[in-house]
Amino acid sequence: MSKPPRILLTGFTPFDNQEINPSWEAVHALDGKHVGDHLVVSRLLPTAFADSQHELESMVREFEPSILLGVGQAGGRSRLSIERVAINVQDARIADNAGAQPIDEAVVADGPAAYFSTLPIKAMLKALLDEGLPAEVSNTAGTFVCNHVAYLMLHIAASHRGMRAGFIHIPYLPAQAVHVSNAPSMSKNDVVKGLSIALEVAVTRSMDERFAAGTLD
């Protein structure tokens, strides 16, 4: 009996003195779920540049996913942020969990300057908004480990026929936001619902929609 196609869904360990990372809290809840004919495999990545690369590459070899979706914490954002682009830059404002703090270094030496998401980001956005969930298309995944993993996922997908990849940033959970002045948050249930909707669109849509979702800043 053949294995179902797989979605590799990743979250991160806590960082920057946080006790939890909402990305893993939400991603873990979807492990083993089916989205259409696809099986979700949720895995935890370390918030560390080198270690996350080694573990991601190992996961891709093990699971041979058809879709890669990384999820990361973006404290201060109020919406599910579907990333449009990942850039070939590591410029860490703080050290990662392994103590590394690369500045102006490439994610992949001699790699393209950037990769665009190969998931239907506008269709995903529309589906989320239609369900009443705050969402947006984001044009920056930062320059820390989230962007690092987003770029690596797209770099890996570019060399695997039929593989697609993307990244979504999520807000703090309420339990985190209560400790940060004026920080927006989103419930775990809403994040899990949002990720489920986004994955369903990714599985069922090969062509994206076309409507304005850009920004002026």
Active-site residue set:
83, 146, 169
- Please state, in angstroms and rounded to a whole number, the distance separating the CA atoms of residues 201 and 36: 10
Nearest to 52 by CA among 110, 100, 113: 100
Q: Check: CB of residue 151 under 8 Å from CB of residue 118.
A: no
Nearest to 47 by CA among 122, 89, 99: 99
Q: Check: CB of residue 9 under 8 Å from CB of residue 40.
A: yes
Strands (DSSP E) contained in 91-140 are 114-116, 135-138
